Structure 1
Amino acid sequence: MVRIETSTLTVQIRAEMSKRKITGDEYNSSLCATEIKKSSNDAAATRMSINSRYYENNFRKTLSHSYRNRQSFVDDITGATLYNQPFQCCCLPNFLSDTKAVHSLRNQLRKVKFFKKSNDLYSLNQSADLKGSPLPAIQSFRELLLDDVLPWLRDLTEIPLDDTLDITCSKYEYGDVLLCHDDELERRRIAFIYYLVPEWSSEDGGTLDLFSIDDNGDPDTVVKSLVPQWNNFVFFEVNTISFHQVSEVISKSKKRLSINGWFHGPNIDRPKLHKIPIPLISETETLTSLSDWINPVYLNIETQLQIRKQFEENSEIQLIDFLLNDKFNAVCFELRNHANSAWSRIGPANKCSTDISKISSLPVSARDCFDLFNSIKFYTFIATLTGLNIGGCKPLFSTETDESDSDTLQTDTSSNYSEDPDVLNNYNVEIDKGSGQLMFQEAPCTSNDLLSLPLDCKQMADTIDPDNSDSIHTRQCCCGNFRRWKHKYYTLIRDSDPEMTEFGLDTVIFFCSASWKPECGGSTAYIAKGEDDELLTIQPTDNTLSIVYRDTETIKFVKYINHRLLALNPDSKCPHFYDLAMTYYE
């Protein structure tokens, strides 16, 4: 009936518009005003009240006692539940007493304008703050929260909540997710969610997952998953252990609709952020020539000049077909067949979820590839491409022209040597006149040479003690590893990340990603601090080396890999790709 009436009304208004020639804005205002007026005629139906059971003295007394003593509680009449682990969280079923009012609220929320929100932490549709909504059912629900729920929560929790209320509507659709976080923000004290979902089960995704914490106070594992239910009100106290997430919605037909927000109060003491140092690794000098691994076009001096020019203009570049095909294919084969037990999932969940492999357990070709990217030769090579000094290794040539001969390329073979006189790079560099390639040749060894040490170069990363600088002269100017990416994997931005305080040169090369689709996630995004708009997005592309220079105001993350990956690869148990991601420091 409502649709028919609205359709008829719309026709009438459009006819009137035609006569009066009013503007589209006037039309929208007229229609909105008519809807509000029509809804106001049912004002009695939208006046809301809480389930009377939750006001009964016996219920409130028992719940308050359990809450203050951190005990679990279940009400036999309503099914209201207070969970004590991993942190206190209360669920109140059949929260509103009037079913008609609940439907009216749901219907009016469908008229609210939603904005697609997407960043490292979430992907969802969200309204603006509902404080300014003119729709009566929404107004009534907000008044209920302030007039009834707020004093009820004050009495229950003994937290001196003020009258500040944040309230928005969220709509999660297929593939949407809200990853692990604790909701901590200035003056937030109680978080709440009110569900207006269709019949829902855990198979639909969208569960509210609660995390336990480890010995460091970081989120550990999901120990409680709450399935959204119609007319359910859930709340919990925001604190240093209130880690939770909304799991990915995997239903293609259902929408997870909820009203959510926070009640505010006095700030609580919070521990200072622990600044974690950058996990630098020691160079692993390899005897392999760059020409044994790298596409010869990138060893050509003219190509390098072009790369340097583009990089200096854009601070980023992608180099396709970077490794020789046989080397690239050998690494792909080894990574695909690398034992699953050799990969370790790393976290914590409010920082990242991905797999890495211990360097010492990598197969031969993969290990040689890692050693290449962590070698002095490669430091010098990447310094030459970018014009940056990497770990004391300077570019091999300057792009500035010589005053005496404008056609002369200025090479600097002395840049092969560290500023530390005790550390020798042991390479003479010449430009082959026939091919134009940079040729690295070993210089004669001395007693101080790294190459003269009685060590297997492929084991140096495991044998060097980073805490004992006297054990061997090595550089520690980069960090990185091979990573495996699959469904539910991601990285997040955290204020305590050491990368936030350092300039860095990021490189990443992808393996086994030929069939990857952008809609599955897994891309690397660069954004400015405090912004959501992406400055640069790098899609997984086989054998493409991406190089990005990142300042302290630019941060990166890998987007959540969503369920579309499984839908697009039904014959694969667990489709995934790999990358070798390294960050170099000057």
Structure 2
Amino acid sequence: MNCKRQRDDGENAEKGKKRKKREERVKLSPLLEDEDVKKGVKEAWSHRAQYSHGGLELDCHPFPHCIIRNFIQSDSFTENLQRELLDLNFHEKSNDLYKFNQSDDLKKRKEPHITGLRAALFGRFRSWLGEVLGVELEPTVDVSCAKYQYTDVLLCHDDELEGRRVAFILYLVPPWESSDGGTLDLFSTDDHFQPHSVVKSLVPSWNTLVLFEVSPVSFHQETLLLEWLNPLYLDVDYQSQVQQEFEDSSEIQLKNFLKEEKFKEVSEALRSTDVQWTKQGPPNRRCYEVASLVSFPQCVSACWELLCSEAFFLLLSNFTGLRLHYLSPSDEDEEEEKDQEDEEEREATGSSGDTPSANKNNKEPSTPLCVGELRRWAHGSYTLLHDGDASKAEYALDLLLPLSCPDWQTEFGGFTSYVANEEDEELLMVYPEENSLALVYRDKETLKFVKHINHRSSTLPIGDSCRRAVYDFSFVYYE
């Protein structure tokens, strides 16, 4: 019987020392160790602002990206790293989107300088990124080497894959000019979130690292959301918490939703006599007032546009898990990804057979759909259920954003009541609450009405009768 002798601790220690010698430790830019720089980058990134210090530049137009020059401190390390990379085996990658040569995954390489860089990227640099972004990044880091030669190309794409938060490029190129090609072109987007035009081109530069955020929200009308919303609700981790709570109960209220100054501005503007209000009827169906869109003050119109914007559709998708926009993820996306991977595998092996994705009907991107009203409620206002309501009921997401109701009491009425069809029991009651966004998902068996506002509401200690009113933005969004 053959038996391998177990190595004693001394031998294992010696082996460890030899292994460690094969890793050349790399020193990254001292800017990454500067606490003031870290704080500056974090603050600018969260507010989508500009920041620069030494060889570090952060810009958020058209989407957040950061340039770090002299990323590696040692010139000899960088030169040896380039030499090790060029000695790797490269495989040609070519399709409609790109043509270049790519190495295998660098996670398994044992070359000392590649190993040293990998350790820094997976460790110190990843930790720095997590602190700057204010999120906990997954431990997975994908890293490979791409070699571009004459006529090679990588066309417009978004880099978005499940779980990917940041993409980065470390350039190891000779002296380079924009006329040589190979620039990193950043695109603006149109109203449908499609790439529109190049607004910035970054020329490759030796030992320069470029990183940028990968997120469907980060470069799609992000400025609009930042201008209006409480920053808490733009935090991706908090959005996940909201989605979990919403999926558990099909409803949620998001307090202090708008920025305080924006909320006050809109509330005051609604009390203006310039807004035109029209009474809604007939009395056996409803009794409240709706504002005319053409009479909106500028800030009210801007808030309306926010709630109708595609950026807001995507935000609601993140809050609820519903697919309210064609850019929001769905189970079908995962199936299509798998079909694409299967197709690529068949092409690589030369096998034949039907491609599932080829047999699917191509779906046109759906246009976001919502309907909304800006309503005014006072003593005597209400809505009633009607016999025909059940036949018209649809799956939908209701949104309510009340304004000017700081002292509203439950006994006044004015709450939205959700009931099951042909049943008297109330499933849910949503009360007017100042600057609290209510989201409720209802099915075809759920109906709603607004409870009659009684005379007690007139006792509020507020001046004229117009100021006794409660206002709300009421929207319905459809998948």
TM-score by length of 2: 0.45
- Higher percent of residues as helix: 2
Q: Highest Rg: 1 or 2?
A: 1
TM-score by length of 1: 0.37
